[in-house]
Structure 1
Amino acid sequence: MKKTILSILLVSSLHGFAQENVLQYVKPITGTQRMGHTYPGATVPFGMVQLSPETDTIPYDMNGKYNPDVYKYCAGYQYEDKTIVGFSHTHFSGTGHSDLGDFLIMPTVGKLQLNPGTADNPESGYRSRFSHANEVAEPNYYKVKLDDDNIIAELTTSNRVGFHQYTFPQTDQAHIILDMMSGIYNHENKNVWTFIRVENDTLITGFRQTNGWARTRIEYFAMVFSKPFVQYGQQNYSKDVYRGFWRKFDQTKNFPEMAGRQLRAYFDFKTSAGEKIKIKFALSPVSTAGAVKNLSEIPGWDFDKVKQDGQALWAKELNKIHIESGSREEKENFYTAMYHAFINPTTYMDIDGSYRGLDMNIHQADGFTNYTTFSLWDTYRALHPLFNVIQPKRNADMIQSMLKHYEQSVQHMLPVWSHYANENWCMIGYHSVSVIADAIMKGNAPFDAEKALEACVTTARHRTYDGLEYYIDKGYVPEDRNGSSVSKTLEYAYDDWCIAQVAKKLGKQDIYDEFMKRSANYRNVYDSQTGFMRPRLDNGTFKTSFDPLQTHDQGFIEGNAWNYSLYVPHNPDDMIAMMGGKKQFTQHLDSLFTMELPDKYFAETEDITRDGIIGNYVHGNEPSHHVAYLYNWTGYPWKTQERVRMILKKMYHPGPDGLGGNDDCGQMSAWYIFTTLGFYPVCPGSDQYSLGSPAIDKATLQLENGKTFVVDVKNQGDKNVYVQKVMLNGAPLNRLYITHDEIMKGGVITFVMGSKPKK
């Protein structure tokens, strides 16, 4: 087989070591089964287009009955499904709620059908059966055979353009369907309006405005075919469509303007056997003119070149960490985790830097890339700290995007969970503060830190936001006034500590004093009688009916008292003392991992099943992600080492069901990367990374400052999980953490491993 230019590049020398083709280890199919909620389709790193197949997106059946399995389809694709509905251009990766799924395209042959049909009767519509045996998923490339129509579908992308290539049989009845109705978590009222304009016999433009998770989201497109279509038409299902034109035209066929809330269009072709029809589909948050300009990212029709260019981008990003391991599975786990970590946040601006802001006006990104898709309740914990190590320039741009969100917000608040010029207010806390503080405290702040602190403080003083009025006045959120009160109190306290650290660094003593005092509010929801964090009421008493194993109606979200009682990342020493000291706290940690959670409690978790759960430790939900490292504060670091290696084995493997819970825009994957390297940011906003047990033989981090940081592991193996000795640049490291500055200066950290704990 001839070597491609890409493969030659991948084995070329860089930074002193020969690069291997790491793309072979990436398995985009990982997490597409059960609750991982990833997608297998094509995208480039942090790309604006995520072009991927949908196996089902419709929460209602043909009779209007709600589909209780809709939660499975947050990414539009489930590995167990046997049919594909089509290929759409926008997706979230690994989320627990959803939106998007814009502009679904489906190629068909034979009699034209403009409804998707059903999974158990695909002949009733345009969907098709498929087999995983005829499916290929690689970074920036997806291929599948649509069995019912004998069509080979191939997908690749640039940043803003999806590139389709469909190989047809010989037919006079080839169709490309453009479904403007379809969407992930769709419902009959989600579409506010859609519009299609046929500019000529190869170029189509239009837009879609939706009211879903994002209340008012608008996305423009420009679609160009590689050959002219012979005719086109539409089916408009809108009940309120304006027919207009005094019915002087037949708008159903060859009429160049199509509009309505429920619209599907089709474009007909004649094809010879093996003929390829190609489509370039550009997105824009600004206008159809912007989408047409974005088409320039792919100037020709060379599908293989676009695929290779995108894969070269992936190779560049993935090779920022080079690992050595005797286990192929370990390499597949690691580089798949890096792949998932580098999907979100996503670019959100045209090639000229223009983008739609939170105020719905058009703005210009001056000197930075504007990003969207901020799942901050998840990603502040490990993903953004990972970016501060390996993607600092991108992370700084992401923060500038957050600060622009703040400027455009009429509430004057930083983003909570935002996407596509919308704030959806999902989850709790104000964790933009954590991301900003982590960057400033680690010296990655090429922006106005004073203004960033002002945005953090203003957000944290916003009394009308989610129980903050009570939190500020009482020092806790009362459960009878505002639900999930304990979780909110704990997370607000942590965010306040982050603000205090930045204030101290910038010499703002009054702000430091205010927020350090607030950061101790976790003490106000600790009940010494039960030994758990517990909801308090407005009158100051603890809620009487209390079950520490239950989530619902107990003051918590995505966790219970067992898990959230361990959430004081900014002051673990005080938390441990408050909960009875090191011995008692260690017993609590041990019980968390070893207890058997009764079946009745699984109905209270979002996972429904035992996915992501070890004992009562819920790795599939983020509030527990730091917990295994807390043994480092109790005098039992060998238990941290034992636990994290156990979690790595149980929660991750390179298969469709290889993620033990939602990947949550890369947070689960970032946890894997840090933990495999042997250190983890227990408290973002500090400069310390807590040591664990590295699970590879060696790792070389290529830092943006030109330096390298090497993790060298001696005697590593599945049985040798216990650290015997740690050295930094040849000198003993007699502490259980390393600092950010030590990493960024470059050097070597050496772990010597053994099969028995060093107590």
Structure 2
Amino acid sequence: MKKTLCLFFTCISLGAAAQTNVAEKLVPYVNPIIGTQRMGHVYPGATVPFGMVQLSPETDTPSYELNGKYNPDVYKYCAGYQYDDKTIVGFSHTHFSGTGHSDLGDFLIMPTVGALKLNPGTADKPGSGYRSAFSHKNEVSQANYYKVKLDESNILAEMTTSARVGFHQYTFPKSDQSHIILDLMAGIYNYPDKNVWTYLRVVNDSTVVGFRQTNGWARTRSLYFAMSFSKAFFQHGYKKYDQREVYGGFWGKFNRVKNFPEIAGKQIRAYFDFKTEEGEKIKIKFALSPVSMAGALNNMQTEIPGWDFEKVKADGQQLWEAELHKIEIAGNKEIKENFYTAMYHAMINPTVYMDADGQYKGLDQNVHKAEGFTNYTTFSLWDTYRALHPLFNIIEPKRNADMVQSMLAHFDQSPEHMLPIWSNSGNENWCMSGYHSVAVLADAVVKGNVNFDANKALDACVATAKHRDYEGIGDYMDKGYIPDEKSGVSVSSTLEYAFDDWAIAQMAKKLNRMDVYNEFIKRSENYKNVYDKAAGFMRPRLADGSFRQKFDPLSTINEGFIEGNSWNYTLFAPQDPKGLIALMGGNKRFVGYLDSLFTMNLPDKYFAETEDITRDGIIGNYVHGNEPSHHVAYLYNWTDKPWKTQERIRMILPRMYKPTPDGLGGNDDTGQMSAWYIFSTLGFYPVAPGSDQYSIGSPAVNGGVINLDNGKKFTINVKNQGAKNVYVQKITLNGKPLDGLFISHADIMNGGEITYYMSSKHK
């Protein structure tokens, strides 16, 4: 009887807590400033979930080259903003979130007063140009809202967005010389000759349209815009910085620097002049389109037909509320701020890439229409296949299935007939290694999240994995590994291909395509071919079958690996932990190897190898800031010391994630770092995407509820939670003891309840 009453009151308590959490506003816990300092490479500006517009300040736009050489400062500005900077150059409309490479930074706008200055000036002398000093005391960053006071002009800048439109609101002082500058030259990672062409046409005294064509990280990229002012400008003009002066359609016969009807060139800055009263607000709607200027105008009219800034802000924040409420947690303010900022960062990318009418420019540079799905871009797949897309299969199943359809459209449009590697804006960037889109497709199929032709998807995976001309695949197929002579990342590519092959095999098995399964499950064991038993490491192997003699397992330079060293990559076989343990000499030796990864002291000389390597994101020799290690702490679950997984996870969480500007231990990588945090904080993790199993960790919340799209709830209870109580004594699933250290995708999606019983002592 007492047990029954206890269960009854427990259910009442959980229900009441859930109702309370639903009513709680979660947007206030989002702090986009987290990660803007040092290596996080996220931006503090405004965007809606998965929005095409990311409207954010640039604190600098350094040139790609300095004195004819690569400028190392460029790496700091992958998101355009660094917290330690004291000036703002302007506000642009496109950004990557958390990448280690970049592009974008399109269409920079800056309001000014006084004498017109069309150069940006320098950080040490902001008054020498249009940039302005600012203070974090006068800065507000929220989900879909950014505000800052520009000290040089005493202008209050505010911005919010819809999916395809950036909405600016500038509060001016009284002045007869108020200007809004549109810089068509500015950009992030400004390669020499990145701007191929820009065009600007004045429709009337409050509307302009145009486009920008760039050849940057994305080789062939066109972006169109429509810009509308809430107040008519009384004059406008431009300055052209092209070496060869070209007057738009006039070809030099007219000299209309002021009040021009149109202008074109590679390097242009335009301005629009106003007379303002004290406290007068000038608003700007800036719509983007991947297709046309007409598409941009239609996007503007469709999404923000009026001028109610507060309504657009509120509507966007309500979209964030809906997304954030997909997981409701119990915990203190610090935990919630970390968690919901991670949720926010996880739902910025991939981004919508189509007009309101469904049209978009494809990989073949033709205009296509997305029929029955939303087309997405910004696929940083080397990062995001690991945890971000598995997270979407739980909380964003429709979006993830649409992302798969977007990848299949990419395949159809690809002249190479390959799935995306790292794609953006109708371009394939070919960045990083592996063919990890196959893992995203396999994970969706294995978990039953399919609104696409699964067999066609499998065929696309097979075609991609058999593209003999691509980055060593031919040698990999013939020899079972990529020879050291053929590739500078021969070992990591071999390991990543083997994992992707395993994912293809799981997909084929699900679809009963056993011929494909048998072929690719055999290929998935190729990871063993680059393991040197004598050395105890994965190691570059020559074409004649021998291992390279000179070899440093701690170095990241010229040792056959990408963004990692051999010590880390030796643990990269998430598809076969048992096989890896046997390969490395058994349980005892494997545990010792894992322990050493976290406890060793990596010598300083390895941090001096390149300007990008710092101690950010590193614990011992465990590199949390680089994704190949993200599954590593969970590998203890395949040994006789699974409690060490729990210990390591709870050690990593507070060291790599903090509610501070420098609170991300490495690039967020379009949400992968944040997705790791979300899973690990809840107590489980997808070690091998393409499997329906999640590995148990150690929950860091007091409890939570995953609100599923199917209307069901998966409730997470944590008993005896505490900073020292990191060890799991037992787990029950739907009231029954959990047998083992894994839960299935069906366990979550069917709804139910998991309860962790925590202790300060391991079993």
Aligned partner of 2:524 among 501, 519, 523: 519
Q: CA deviation at 1:605?
A: 6.1
Q: 1:60 to 1:687 in 2, by over 3 A?
A: closer
TM-score by length of 2: 0.96
Aligned to 1:307: 313
Matched, 1:138 2:138: no
> How far, CA to CA, are the matches of 2:756 and 2:653 in structure 1?
18
Compute the displacement of 1:248 (Å): 3.8
Q: Provide the rounded CA distance (Å) in 2 between the counterparts of 1:754 and 1:351.
A: 52
The answer to whether the 8 Å contact 1:13/1:19 transfers is no
Match of 2:6 in 1: none
Question: Given that residues 64 and 192 in structure 2 are in contact (C-alpha distance below 8 angstroms), is that contact kept between their aligned partners in structure 1?
Answer: no
- Correspondence for 2:110 among 90, 103, 106: 106
Q: Are the structure 2 counterparts of residues 60 and 531 from structure 1 closer, same or farther at C-alpha, using a change threshold of 3 Å?
A: closer
SS at match of 1:142: strand
**Which of the numbers 416, 419, 423 marks the counterpart of 1:414?**
419
Task: Tell me which amino acid in the other structure corresponds to 2:345.
Answer: H
Residue type of the alignment partner of 1:689: Y
Q: How many residues align?
A: 746
* CA–CA distance in structure 1, aligned partners of residues 23 and 714 of structure 2: 16
SS of residue matched to 2:457? helix
Amino acid at match of 1:32: T
Aligned to 1:37: 41
Q: Residues 620 and 13 (structure 1 numbering): CA distance in 2 closer, same or farther, change over 3 Å?
A: closer
Deviation readout 1:546-575 (Å, 9 max, x if unpaired): 111011111111111110000000000000
2:449 to 419, 444, 454: 444
Matched residue SS, 1:519: helix
Task: Show the 5 A alignment for 1:325-340.
Answer: 325=331, 327-340=332-345
Cα drift, residue 606 of structure 1: 6.7
Q: How does 1:202-601 map to 2 (within 5 A)?
A: 202-243=206-247, 245=250, 247-296=252-301, 297-325=303-331, 327-601=332-606
* 1:628–1:288 distance in 2 versus 1, CA, 3 Å: same
Q: Which digits, 9 at most, give the CA deviation of each residue in 1:639-688, with x for residues without a partner?
A: 00000000001000011100000000000000000000000000000000
- Counterpart check, 1:740 vs 2:745: yes
Instruction: Label 1:408 to 1:247 Cα distance change in 2 as closer, same or farther (>3 A).
Output: closer
Structure 2 counterpart of 1:708, one-letter code: K
One-letter amino acid of the structure 2 residue matched with residue 637 of structure 1: P
1:170 aligns with 2:157: no
The secondary structure found in structure 1 opposite 2:485 is coil
For residues 608 and 248 of structure 1, the distance between their equivalents in structure 2, rounded to whole angstroms, comes to: 54
- In the alignment, the residues of structure 1 paired with residue 81 and residue 241 of structure 2 have an alpha-carbon distance, to the nearest angstrom, of 25
Match of 1:24 among 20, 24, 28: 28
Equivalent residue letter for 1:645: R
- Code of the aligned partner of 2:107: F
Does residue 150 of structure 1 match 2:154? yes
Q: CA deviation at 1:13?
A: 11
Query: More deviation in 538-547 or 280-289?
Result: 538-547
Residue identity opposite 2:494 in structure 1: T
2:10 paired residue number = none
* C-alpha deviation, 1:749, in angstroms: 0.3
Once the two structures are TM-superposed, the CA of residue 510 in structure 1 deviates from its matched residue by: 1.5
Which aligned segments of 4 or more residues in structure 1 are displaced greater than 3 angstroms?
A: 12-18, 60-67, 243-248, 604-607
Structure 1 equivalent of residue 56 of structure 2: 52
- Trace 1:174-185 onto structure 2 (pairs within 5 A): 174-185=178-189
Work out whether residues 489 and 521 of structure 1, in 8 Å CA contact, stay in contact via their aligned partners in 2. yes
Amino acid at match of 1:681: P
Name the counterpart of 2:100.
Answer: 96
Distance 1:195 1:366 in 2: 31
| Counterpart Cα distance in 1 of 2:295 and 2:616 | 43
Judge conservation of contact 1:166–1:278 (CA < 8 Å) in 2. yes
SS class of match (2:608): helix
Q: Percent identity between the aligned chains?
A: 71
The aligned residue for residue 608 of structure 1 is 613
Residues of 1 paired with 2:17 and 2:277: CA distance? 45
Which residue is equivalent to 2:637?
A: 632
CA contact (8 A) 1:620 1:660 kept: yes
Structure 1 contact 59–68 (Cα < 8 Å) conserved: no
In 1, the alpha carbon distance for the partners of 2:760 and 2:491 equals 40
Contact 2:72 2:611 in 1 (8 A): no
Is this contact kept in 2: 1:44–1:314, CA < 8 A? yes
CA contact (8 A) 1:691 1:737 kept: yes
Change over 3 Å in CA distance of 1:467–1:246 after alignment to 2: closer
Q: CA deviation at 1:513?
A: 1.2
Q: What is the CA distance between 1:249 and its match in structure 2?
A: 2.1
Q: 1:147 to 1:16 in 2, by over 3 A?
A: closer
Q: Secondary structure at the match of 1:199?
A: strand
Q: Distance in 1 between matches of 2:76 and 2:487?
A: 29
State the Cα distance separating 1:251 from its structure 2 match.
Answer: 2.5
Q: Does the 8 Å CA contact 1:41/1:141 hold for their aligned counterparts? A: yes
Distance 1:411 1:63 in 2: 37
AA aligned opposite 1:210: T
Deviations 1:136-186 (A, max 9, x none): 000000000000000000000000000000000000000000000000001
Evaluate the alpha carbon distance shift between residue 128 and residue 692 of structure 1 in structure 2; reply closer, same or farther with a 3 A threshold: same
For 1:472 and 1:339, how far apart are their aligned partners in 2? 41
Q: Structure 2 regions of 5+ residues with no counterpart?
A: 1-15
Deviation at 1:509, TM superposition (A): 1.7
C-alpha displacement of 1:482: 1.3
8 Å Cα contact 1:197/1:256 also seen in 2: yes
Across the aligned residues of Structure 1 and Structure 2, the Cα RMSD in angstroms comes to: 1.3
User: Structure 1 unaligned runs (5+)?
Assistant: 1-11
Tell me, in whole angstroms, the C-alpha distance in 2 between the residues paired with 1:66 and 1:603: 17
Q: Please state if 1:657 is matched with 2:662.
A: yes
Letter of the structure 2 residue corresponding to residue 307 of structure 1: K
Query: TM-score w.r.t. structure 1 length?
Result: 0.97
State how far apart, in whole Å, the 1-side matches of 2:45 and 2:171 are.
18
Give the conservation status (yes or no) of the 8 Å contact 1:58–1:187.
no
1:606 and 1:442 map into 2 onto residues whose CA distance is 41
1:68 aligns with 2:72: yes
**Does the 8 Å contact 1:607/1:661 carry over to 2?**
no
- Give 1:734 shift: 1.9
Q: Which residue of 1 aligns with 2:200?
A: 196
Counterparts of 2:324 and 2:500 in 1: how far apart (Å)?
31
- Find the counterpart in structure 2 of residue 671 from structure 1: 676
Separation of aligned partners in 2, 1:14 and 1:352: 38
Residue 255 of structure 1: SS of its match in structure 2? coil
- How much has 1:634 moved relative to structure 2? 0.7
Partners of 1:585 and 1:65 in 2: CA distance: 44
How far, CA to CA, are the matches of 1:61 and 1:514 in structure 2?
Answer: 47
Shift of 1:403: 0.3
Aligned counterparts of 2:729 and 2:510: Cα–Cα separation in 1: 36
Q: Secondary structure at the match of 1:250?
A: coil
Check if 1:642 corresponds to 2:647: yes
| Aligned 1:709-720 pairs, distance under 5 A | 709-720=714-725
SS at match of 2:484: coil
Contact 2:483 2:542 in 1 (8 A): yes
